[in-house]
Structures are given as structure tokens and as C-alpha cells.
Amino acid sequence: MEIVHNNGEYPRPLSAREREWIEWILPEDRPAYASYRTMLKAMMVIGQGRRGPGEIILGAPEDKPDFSEPLTPVAAYGAIETDIGTISVTLREPIHEQLSVEMVCQTVEDIPHRFRELRRWSYSGWQPGNTCPQCLRPVREISLQILSPTMSHAVLALCPTDKRVWVHDRTGGLNHLIPVTNYYNELMLHKNIRDPGIALDASNLFRDLSRYSDGELAYAFMAYNRLKTKIQAPAGVEVPRDDSPGIRGAVRKLFRLKS
């Protein structure tokens, strides 16, 4: 595998290794990732990201990196376990027709030309019924029925081992990673838990995961989704039937259509 040394000269094309890693976390068989692959075809590396070496900015050859906005949410994430350490590959949602991609190793600053790959995994390829991509253990799944003309579905997934939360959109196959702290805040607000020792420590989510019903966890996601849209649900969502009508009604109320 080669590495490109550009001495800060931009624009430049993606190296073969960079392109392979990026396309790997954008699986071809998932329609939702097709737009990212299309964008890549017309893009070049136009500079280094604000997070320093390892982060590149992709855009039109004539553009300069635009740092006027905060970092956007993660769109795709994967990790390559090697004999030199774990290499993470993170692609963020586009902003101003530019993409941020970060490829870094936990143990070395510069990823060498050659190393031995042991295993790779990505959240992009996960689908309901699968184990967690990272730890290969079962995850807790909560089915959500999106109220729309097509009656689409989504699945909320929580892995207590790796302390990750993501939502799978069955329509396009996209998996959105959910910031645990923000999600947990919505759960605490819903449960009216104000004890700082509980409410301010998001790690409690996974320690106490079995204490929360599917409806409560679904409500927390939809409350978060109202602020940071991951799943389009303008008419509401049907949460699992084993919860009380009050919880189902509250979730629907979050996204009911205005008359």
C-alpha cells in the first residue's frame, strides 16, 4: 500500500489506499451511500482538516477548505485492526459541497507504507439481526415504524459492550451513529432523572440498559432526532406495542403534522 507525500501541495488526487478505505465504508449495495460515492468522483484533496495530520478535506479542485462551520456529524465509520495498531476511517456529512475524511492510527502518527491487516469492521454494513461490528456480540434492537405513505422502518441499536448507539434506516440502508451523551440527555429528561451522579454520566446508559423499556429508549431517540434529524419522520413514529399508550402518544406528538 502506498502513501502520498504532497508537502502541502494541493489540490491532489486521492491515493489508491485513501480511495479504497473511503469506498470500503461506503458499501455499494446500500443506496443511501451512493450519493457519497458520486461526490467522490468529482472531488480532489484540497487541504488538511482542522484536526491536523490524518484529516483531509475533499472538494472541487478550485476550492479551499471551508472551516466556517462546526464539524458535521459522522456519516460513516470503520476501523482496520493491524499489527501496528488500529486505523480508524471516519467520513463526515458534507458541508458546502466538501467532505472531511479522517484516517488515523492510534499508535503511530504516520501510517507506514506496509503493515499486516488483521481484521476490519465498519458500522456501514450493519443490518438488523447482526451482531455488533466491533465486538461481535448481540446488540439491543428496537424497531421503529415511521408513519409515512410508504410506512418505512428504522431500527435503533445499542451495544452495551462498545458503548455505541446507532440507528438503521431500512429504506436506504444507512446507519447513523448517535452521540451517546446527547441521546442520554434526552432519556434523562424523559425519565425526569435529575440526580447528577446518574443524569450527567452517560456511561450509566449501558450499565442500566436493561432497566429501560423499548418505548423509553425509542422516545429518547425521537426527541434527539427532533433536534438533529437522522431519520425523516414528519408524521410520527410507531413505537413497540409493549409500552403504554401514553408513551406511544408522546412519541407521535413529537412529530405530528401541523394542520
Cis peptide before 11 (omega within 30 of 0): yes
Same domain, 169 and 247: yes
pLDDT at 116: 96
Same domain, 160 and 141: yes
Last residue of some domain: 82, 98, 124? 124
Same domain, 223 and 169: yes
- Evaluate whether residue 220 is within a structural domain: yes
Last residue of some domain: 105, 124, 143? 124
Last residue of some domain: 89, 124, 159? 124
Same domain, 62 and 133: no
H helices within 42-179, ranges in order?
none
The ranges of the chain with pLDDT < 70 are: 1-8, 146-152, 231-259
Same domain, 161 and 243: yes
pLDDT at 197: 92
pLDDT at 240: 59
Same domain, 177 and 210: yes
pLDDT at 2: 37
Provide the number of structural domains found in the chain. 2
pLDDT at 17: 96
Range of the domain at 34: 16-124
Distance CA 227, CA 195 (A): 24
Same domain, 98 and 199: no
Distance CA 49, CA 33 (A): 22
Q: Output the furthest CA–CA distance in the chain (Å, rounded).
A: 61
- Evaluate whether residue 10 is within a structural domain: no
Same domain, 213 and 195: yes
Same domain, 70 and 141: no
pLDDT at 227: 84
- pLDDT tens string 44-81: 999 999 998 999 999 999 999 999 999 999 999 999 99
pLDDT at 248: 47
Same domain, 109 and 28: yes
pLDDT at 168: 94
**Total residues belonging to the chain:** 259
